[in-house]
Structure 1
Amino acid sequence: MAKSIRQRLFAALAGFTVLLCLCYTGLALVIAYVTEDMLVQRLLEREAAAVSQRMREHGELTPSGSDLITVYGAYLDLPQAVRQHVPPSAPRAEVFTTTGQHYHVLALDLVAAGQPQRAYLLADVAPVLVVSRLAQEVGGVVAGVALALVGLALLLAYWLARRLVLPLQRLAREARALAPGSAVHFSERDRPDEIGFLARRLESTFSELQTALQREHAFARDVSHELRTPLTLMHLALADAHPLTAQGQVQLRQGVDEMRATIEVLFALARAEQLPGELVELRGCIEQCLLRLLEDTPWDASLLALDLPERLDVLGNGQLMMLLINNCLANALFHGGPDCRIDIAYAQGQLSIVNTVQAGQPRRIHGFAHGQDLLLRLAQAMGWHIVFHPGAAQYRVVIVPVPGP
């Protein structure tokens, strides 16, 4: 089973703690033994200076004044255990024996009666060793205190590992619990550190992914829903093997135009995430749409009433805006017929497109309530609002754009 990040962090902190404790313990022992050896060596050097001074004054080798240090005038006078480990030429040495003695040897070069002489100072320091005796007497207490401190350090490492990893574990649980289509919110998003940055990035990534999935689902649904009717009309127009009648040609042309317009809207909605919002002049877009309408349809421009300000800046997307106005105008002609009157006005932040409907004219259905759902989604993609008001004498569409700064 894979270890969690908290277990790995605890193992790292615990290992570092134990390693640090062992290193400091070893360092303390080394310092204690080195200090002990330096002290013994310092005593030997002081005694060597005293022996040399007495040799110069009295001309003979006198015994040491310390009960720990013995003066030997020749190498053969040294104990056998010392001679086995120390050669005659060694200036100093330290000898451990199996019988409990611990010797420090210092060679001393003197001059007696004009002749060089080598003497040896031998110190049996076993009675004055402090470190080994201290380890025997209070070693258990020191070991207990060390184990207690290591245990405390391990508890602190566990607490730190749990505290440091808890935000990441909470973030992982929240990400694991996310359901398709649910709102994305991570509780760690407001942290000022890297975890907060990760939570915010994950939140935006999940939101964008869900939006893309919803857009893909809507695109597939719209393709199946909106293109079925024009394809059926085209199939009916082409079903007869005889040459197309005028009415069949009209139906075929109408189906092709409807499919082209629908496909443009669907692809625009599918790319809505990549289309940035911008400041657009709405009056210019409406005029371009009207010019295109006059070029494509036999409609009398004298039936148009336009009441717009000289400049109308709104926030949106130029491509989506053109599609929205084009479809609204096309639907107006479809519902009202070629002799309808179209009024376009802007007042109190609302753009209204009104077309008249001839009395007694049967209500025309363009597919399955064609265009309303797509127009609603076009408006929502830009943050606009659109409302449809069908009536017996007129058909009115109200668009509320986002005003420019």
Structure 2
Amino acid sequence: MARSIRHSLFAALAGFTVLICAVYTGLALVIAYVTEDMLVDRLLERESAAIAAHFHAHGEVRAPAHDFIGIHRGTATLPPEVRVQAAGKARAEIFAGTGRHYHFRALDLQGAHGSQRIYLLADVGPLLVVAKLIEDVGGVVIVVALGLVALALLLAWLLARRLVSPLLELAREVRNVTPEGTVAFSARRRPDEIGYLADKLGTTIAGLHAALRREHAFTRDVSHELRTPLTVMNNVLGQAGPRPLGTEEVAQLRAGLEDIGHTIDVLFALARAEHIARESFDLRGAIEESLLRLVDGGWDSEGLVLDLPDRLDVTGNRHLARLLIDNCLGNARFHGAPGLRIAFGPGAQGGVLSIGNAVEPGRAGTMQGFQHGQDLLRRIATAMGWEIGFHAAAASYRVDIVPLRR
């Protein structure tokens, strides 16, 4: 493709150059020959006027002033080739087969003593300088013309290379783009159409790579994140066998279904993360809404400590933030003991939101583990420009979230 563009442009420029050279060369020859003929015709016209004036004044035909002009009183004395080609014509230009060149003019003389027709025949062969000039310096002219054509072709090649070079560089950079690498085209800062093309192409490719990464992450997360709750549910059903499920087993199945529902919500939210705009909102309000949903679902809020400012303004996506808070509180509710503490204190980038509680010892054998879902939570935080950290100990668990303050 790159060679085709360069060669096509060079062929177009070279063809245009040769065409212009040929046209102007032909035009110059035409102008030279026409000028030469007009000069000869002008001399013959002046001579005709002088002879007519002399005949009108003296009644006789005087000899021409130029020796290359002859006077014939009848057509019989004209050369045969002139007589044939000039028959019935008042003026003519005749190329004889012997290489001679004539200008013919019939002249009717009027005077006091009568009228008379004569014929002026100019043998202008010795006066023709264009053909002689071509014979003498034609070789030099051809050499100079070929040199100029070669120079023009060289300039056309350099021009084609200069014009196509940014496109070739852009094509090379596009070929070297990988889904894992960054998309940064060197031509994007150019102020012309190539810069606009490079900028739009880079944005499009970057968006395509981001979509492919999200699709790959979605496929990977579906396979990874849903396997754990499904395995737990299969184990519960396998251990139950034909007997009815106990209360704790039903609770585990219900928790597994809720976990799958939360995971699917998070996965779809992350798959659409690039198309969800950021906004400023009150994070305290989102936390209180999540707590109310837990209470409505039967969670005992005894021992809850809420140490938050009256208003906690942050920048992010309200939907992703709700999913983040819901998952953190859901883990605390399922795995932790009573005494959940949610606090916002000083820290990096304007403050840290901490969600922590003690781990209930009696659930150590049945809980899925706090590690499950952490990758998804990190991806949620990263999508909003937030930071998140997990701190697990034998008897306690804490999640630190650093939101982006406005």
Deviation, 1:115, is 5.3
Aligned counterpart for 2:400 among listed residues 392, 398, 401: 398
Aligned Cα RMSD in Å?
2.1
Aligned counterpart for 2:378 among listed residues 372, 376, 379: 376
Give 3-state SS (helix, strand or coil) of 1:311's partner. Answer: coil
The residue type equivalent to 1:91 in the other structure is: A
Deviation, 1:160, is 1.4
Aligned ranges 1:82-101 → 2 under 5 Å: 82-88=82-88, 90-101=89-100
Aligned to 1:297: 298
Distance in 1 (CA, whole Å) between partners of 2:108 and 2:283 is 112
Aligned to 2:215: 216
Deviation, 1:343, is 2.5
Deviation, 1:113, is 5.5
The residue type equivalent to 1:293 in the other structure is: L
Deviation, 1:186, is 2.3
Q: Choose 194-203 or 353-362, whichever is displaced more.
A: 353-362
Alignment check: 8 A CA contact 2:280 2:316 kept? yes
Alignment check: 8 A CA contact 2:356 2:398 kept? yes
Distance in 2 (CA, whole Å) between partners of 1:376 and 1:11 is 57
Deviation, 1:116, is 4.8
Distance in 2 (CA, whole Å) between partners of 1:359 and 1:325 is 21
- TM-score, with length taken from structure 1: 0.92
Alignment check: 8 A CA contact 1:352 1:396 kept? no
2:151 is equivalent to residue 149 of structure 1: no
Cα distance per residue 1:66-118 (max 9 Å; x no partner):
10111223333322211111122x22110001212100112222225575543
The residue type equivalent to 2:244 in the other structure is: P
Cα distance per residue 1:22-79 (max 9 Å; x no partner):
0110010011011101101110110111011011101122221210111223333322
Distance in 1 (CA, whole Å) between partners of 2:104 and 2:298 is 121
Aligned to 1:178: 177
Aligned to 1:53: 53
Deviation, 1:336, is 1.3
Give 3-state SS (helix, strand or coil) of 2:85's partner. Answer: coil
Distance in 2 (CA, whole Å) between partners of 1:2 and 1:303 is 71
Alignment check: 8 A CA contact 1:332 1:342 kept? no
2:26 is equivalent to residue 35 of structure 1: no
Deviation, 1:279, is 1.9
Aligned ranges 1:4-403 → 2 under 5 Å: 4-88=4-88, 90-112=89-111, 116-239=115-238, 240-300=241-301, 302-337=302-337, 339-348=338-347, 349-357=350-358, 360-361=361-362, 363=364, 365-366=367-368, 369-403=371-405
The change in CA–CA distance for 1:23 and 1:64 in structure 2 (over 3 A counts) is: same
The residue type equivalent to 2:384 in the other structure is: M
Alignment check: 8 A CA contact 2:332 2:340 kept? no
Distance in 1 (CA, whole Å) between partners of 2:343 and 2:395 is 16
Alignment check: 8 A CA contact 1:72 1:120 kept? yes
Alignment check: 8 A CA contact 1:68 1:123 kept? yes
Aligned length: 401
Deviation, 1:260, is 0.4
Which sections of structure 2, spanning at least 5 residues, go unmatched?
Answer: none
The residue type equivalent to 1:380 in the other structure is: T
Alignment check: 8 A CA contact 2:284 2:311 kept? yes
Cα distance per residue 1:178-216 (max 9 Å; x no partner):
333123222323222222222222322222222222211
Distance in 2 (CA, whole Å) between partners of 1:198 and 1:365 is 54
Distance in 2 (CA, whole Å) between partners of 1:127 and 1:235 is 116
Alignment check: 8 A CA contact 1:59 1:112 kept? yes
Deviation, 1:346, is 4.4
Give 3-state SS (helix, strand or coil) of 1:76's partner. Answer: helix
The residue type equivalent to 2:147 in the other structure is: A
Distance in 2 (CA, whole Å) between partners of 1:35 and 1:262 is 93
The residue type equivalent to 2:397 in the other structure is: Y
- TM-score, with length taken from structure 2: 0.92
Give 3-state SS (helix, strand or coil) of 1:183's partner. Answer: coil
The residue type equivalent to 1:374 in the other structure is: L
Which sections of structure 1, spanning at least 5 residues, go unmatched?
Answer: none
Q: Choose 172-181 or 254-263, whichever is displaced more.
A: 172-181
Give 3-state SS (helix, strand or coil) of 2:391's partner. Answer: strand
Give 3-state SS (helix, strand or coil) of 1:403's partner. Answer: coil
The change in CA–CA distance for 1:311 and 1:356 in structure 2 (over 3 A counts) is: closer
Deviation, 1:370, is 1.4
